[in-house]
Amino acid sequence: MTPELAELAAAHGVATRYENADQVEVQVDPEVVVAVLAELDVDATTPEAVRRELAAVREARESPKLPPTLVVRAGQERDLGRAARIELEDGTTRDVGTTLPADLPLGWHHVITADQRVPLAVVPDRLPPVPAAWGWMLQLYALHSDQSWGMGDFGDLATMASRSAEELGAGVLLVNPVQAISPAHPVERSPYSPSSRRFANPLYLRVTATDAYARADEATQRKIQALAPDPIGELIDYDAVWAAKRAALELLHPPQVEMDDDLRDFATFGALAEIHGNDWREWPEPLRNPGSAEVAAAREELAVRIEFHAWLQQLCHEQLDDVRRAAREAGMPVGVVHDLPVGVHPGGADTWAQRDVFAARVRVGAPPDAFNQQGQDWNLPPWRPDRLAEAGYAPFRDVVRGVLQHADGIRVDHVAGMWRLWWIPPGEPAGRGTYVHYDAEAMLGVLALEAHRAGAVVVGEDLGTVEDTVTETMHARGLLSSAVLWFQRDWDAPDKPFIRPREWDPDAMASISTHDLPTVSGWLAAEHVRVRAELGLLDRPIADEYADAAAEQAALLELVTREGIPGEDVVVALHTLLASAASRLVLTAPADVVGERRQPNLPGTVDEYPNWRIPLPVTVDGFFADPRVRAAVAPLAAARPLR
């Protein structure tokens, strides 16, 4: 790679080298760097083009202009280099000379100079401490009850919140992403590939809990009840659930819904998707642009369906508020924490309405590591860091604000993405990508400001190939990191022993496993080895994988013994071990305490494995009556009693 190409790449935040999971430096293929730069509208295809682009970069560095957005921490001054006034969020203005003063209030403001108007976010330096608690990490779709239709719903979630606190002493619920799907068949199953991160998923609505159902006449109610799908089977049928709920909701009479521009765009996408399919990239050309005359005409023609999709969002808001209220009234000190996925479906509502902010042809993923030896391709388009800054970080702010509107906390999946994301350029496999860097100070600041305003806790999922600065900075800003038992090992020691939980990071949310890793029963049976071998996902002989799994199991059970924990019931023993963690929050999964072997999601697969379709083997009522549940969580409740 030439020095000029390396300089150009660095100027645009594109990595030319990185450390892999084994802390070995990897040089990025120059062809990959050139391809990624192209997705940022930077031409690096020839030496002449590189020199021309470099000249533009150097000229911009000499410009006296302010950056497109300013994010500063409360209490800090900032030299502006020119006279300016501040237009505060409340509409008042202040002349500040050439320096941003340290006493500006938290909030979204603007800096106004003679030739610029720049968004200014004044953000908290640190979030307040998180109370200690234990709780559940839930896959909501996996729950089911006599009242839910074929999969878990917001009503089941409210029941889990109240009964977990009142009967078991839980203080927190972490919920899989409940962001919006596209409304046509086939329904997207992965909660980590939503159509929009700004809106909620009507698939989780409990139809019979709506005011419209309560107001309906008996004949309509009977018709709706008759639409309920068959009881839950071996796997969840998302298409059957959505078909039934949509038909039921269409029998009710929605009120008029007030729509801002964002909701109108989202609802318009839903109405068009019902006709033309879930992926706008396959729609007729004129409809691919939300600002076209054809879309304007469609808004008139489809006004009733647009109103319907806006109404579904209103229902989601009401039922999500009910969930949050149930947790608070039951006395949960933390409450309901919603998971924020890394991105959105490439053909979904967000990329349709906000396409200029996305690098549409790029897929986000992760480089190869021990668990995913061929790398990961999540098929999610990333935000362009330059366009995000030019938009005043409003797209990111709106996503966070939308989640926290109905939550007591937010878990940011792959939080390292606020520092850098693994971009896979068009035509390349998952392992042939590189990192593109973001302004982490700005991203963290926006996140902290919105969390502060909502009174919410923030957890960052910092597992996998993550730079040390990610975890260190999160802790300095009051965000919790993640600690997973399977990964808590001294990787520098020859035998890689497990670390005693009492030595884990206190500023963390700890768990035994995650949705992308084996369940406890699956881990004990080496199910993760068997399944990956059958699907051809191993790069090593299966005998070596089984040997490693057996050695890992022996090492962990040895730690259980050293800690003086009885080992007759391994599930209870591992939960007792987790209970001793120094971490503020400790979470376990319902699947772990009822003996489910199958993990919720197997990275690297789509239809080869039943990702996101595995229900719990018991109903919600059966779960709370199961003696295995109470035995497993008893040490957690004893270590972190609900006050």
* Confidence label for 411 from pLDDT (cuts 50, 70 and 90): very high
Q: What is the mean pLDDT of the chain?
A: 95
Q: What does the pLDDT read at residue 219?
A: 97
Q: What is the mean pLDDT of residues 442-452?
A: 98
Helix (H) or strand (E) holding 33: helix 30-38
Single out the residue in 291, 317, 343 at which a domain terminates. 317
**How far from 357 is each of 37, 351, 382, 383, 633, CA to CA, in Å?**
16, 8, 9, 6, 44
- Give a yes or no: residue 40 inside a domain: yes
**Residues in contact with 579: Cβ distance below 8 Å, sequence separation at least 6, in sequence order:** 134, 586, 635, 636, 638, 639, 640
Q: What is the mean pLDDT of residues 8-24?
A: 92
pTM (predicted TM-score): 0.95
Cα–Cα nearest to 148, from 75, 230, 88: 230
Single out the residue in 290, 317, 344 at which a domain terminates. 317
Tell me: cis bond preceding 186? Omega within 30 of 0 counts.
yes
**Residues in contact with 562: Cβ distance below 8 Å, sequence separation at least 6, in sequence order:** none
- Give a yes or no: residue 549 inside a domain: no
Single out the residue in 302, 317, 332 at which a domain terminates. 317
**How far from 167 is each of 157, 162, 323, 332, CA to CA, in Å?**
15, 8, 17, 12
- Give a yes or no: residue 436 inside a domain: no
Residue 26: give the domain boundaries.
3-61
**Residues in contact with 146: Cβ distance below 8 Å, sequence separation at least 6, in sequence order:** 619, 621
- Give a yes or no: residue 192 inside a domain: yes
> DSSP strand E in 212-324: where?
none
* Confidence label for 371 from pLDDT (cuts 50, 70 and 90): low
* CA–CA separation, 280 and 380 (whole Å): 15
Cα–Cα nearest to 193, from 610, 617, 611: 611
Residue 537 has pLDDT above 90, yes or no: no
Residue 374 has pLDDT above 90, yes or no: no
* Confidence label for 424 from pLDDT (cuts 50, 70 and 90): very high
* Confidence label for 77 from pLDDT (cuts 50, 70 and 90): very high
* CA–CA separation, 633 and 569 (whole Å): 13
Alpha helices, DSSP H only, in 258-302? Answer: 261-276, 293-301
Q: What is the mean pLDDT of residues 586-611?
A: 95
Q: What is the mean pLDDT of residues 372-376?
A: 78
- Give a yes or no: residue 215 inside a domain: yes
Q: What does the pLDDT read at residue 376?
A: 87
Q: Nearest-5° angle of CA 631, CA 204, CA 603? A: 70
Q: Which amino acid is at 436?
A: V
Q: What does the pLDDT read at residue 78?
A: 93
Residue 584 has pLDDT above 70, yes or no: yes
Proportion of the chain above pLDDT 70, given as a percent: 100
Overall domain count for the chain: 2
List beta partners, residue 436. 14, 421
- Give a yes or no: residue 422 inside a domain: no
Residue 369 has pLDDT above 90, yes or no: no
- Give a yes or no: residue 281 inside a domain: yes
* Confidence label for 494 from pLDDT (cuts 50, 70 and 90): confident
Helix (H) or strand (E) holding 221: helix 218-226
